[in-house]
A and B are shown apart, each in its own frame.
Chain A
């Protein structure tokens, strides 16, 4: 088979470029940000379960502000006016005792 040097060089460069592709694919690895957000939401729910008055006296707003997060508890935002529209959220649901009965609480959290 006859091949010019130019064609051979082109093939070498192409082979080199293809060989480097698998290395570049590993450049972006996922981090634990989403896990951390979920843990923080679980913390908020645990605190709300242990001190239910925080859900009504604005105590959760202080917690959310301290974390730089927006917490939506049954659709009510803490701190007031924040929102998670257009942001990725984590969410959870708890059933907690409340005044001799049980209350279902749905919560969502987004950072920033």
Chain B
């Protein structure tokens, strides 16, 4: 019983055998699909990383405002004291930074296309519980 190899099926002047050509086409198709998927995943990963970086910046800035930037400061027998989580609305103007929007209010509304964090705090002026909302791009 004789077997037929790809090279034996070639005609004179033909570089690829028919089965090799089919295999090559399939391989190219698989590579195309693979590269497309990887390119798509790379874009998604880059977007996710950018969002995570933005989220990290907003969270860090909000934490700074909660513990230092907006807090009520006073004097005690031990010296100057920062009352964390007790926020002065009067300090809000001076605490704004480029790329961030900080607001103190009674509720937090999600904003389209922006990363926002909402932190509960005590408002110094009213002594009521309110929310600090910090948004960033």
A residues within 8 Å of B by Cβ? 4-6, 9-10, 12-13, 16-17, 20, 23-24, 26-32, 35-36, 39-40, 43-44, 46-47, 50-51, 54, 59, 62-63, 66-67
Instruction: Point out the residues of chain B lying under 8 angstroms from A43, CB to CB.
Output: 66, 85, 119-121
Interface size class on chain B is 35 or more
How many contacting A-B pairs (Cβ < 8 A)? 98
| A6 adjacent to B23 (CB under 8 Å) | yes
Q: In the bound complex, what is the Cα–Cα distance between A43 and B6 (angstroms)?
A: 73
| A39 adjacent to B119 (CB under 8 Å) | yes
User: In terms of DSSP, what is the predominant structure of the interface of chain B?
Assistant: helix
| CB of B131 closer than 8 Å to a CB of A | yes
Q: Do A9 and B120 form a contact, CB below 8 Å, given A16-B34, A62-B129?
A: no
| B45 adjacent to A29 (CB under 8 Å) | yes
Distance in Å: Cβ of A47 to nearest Cβ of chain B? 6
Nearest 7 A/B pairs, CB to CB: A46-B85, A5-B20, A27-B45, A27-B41, A13-B27, A6-B23, A43-B120
Instruction: Point out the residues of chain B lying under 8 angstroms from A35, CB to CB.
Output: 59
Distance in Å: Cβ of A51 to nearest Cβ of chain B? 7
B residues within 8 Å of A by Cβ? 5-7, 16-17, 19-20, 23-24, 27, 30-31, 34-35, 38, 41-42, 44-45, 48-49, 51-52, 55-56, 59, 63, 66, 84-86, 106-108, 117-122, 129, 131
Q: Which residue of A lies closest to B108 (CB)?
A: A66
Q: In the bound complex, what is the Cα–Cα distance between A27 and B48 (angstroms)?
A: 8
Q: In the bound complex, what is the Cα–Cα distance between A30 and B117 (angstroms)?
A: 17
Instruction: Point out the residues of chain B lying under 8 angstroms from A51, CB to CB.
Output: 122, 129
| A23 adjacent to B120 (CB under 8 Å) | no
Q: Do A39 and B41 form a contact, CB below 8 Å, given A20-B34, A31-B52?
A: no
Instruction: Point out the residues of chain B lying under 8 angstroms from A13, CB to CB.
Output: 27, 30-31
Distance in Å: Cβ of A72 to nearest Cβ of chain B? 16
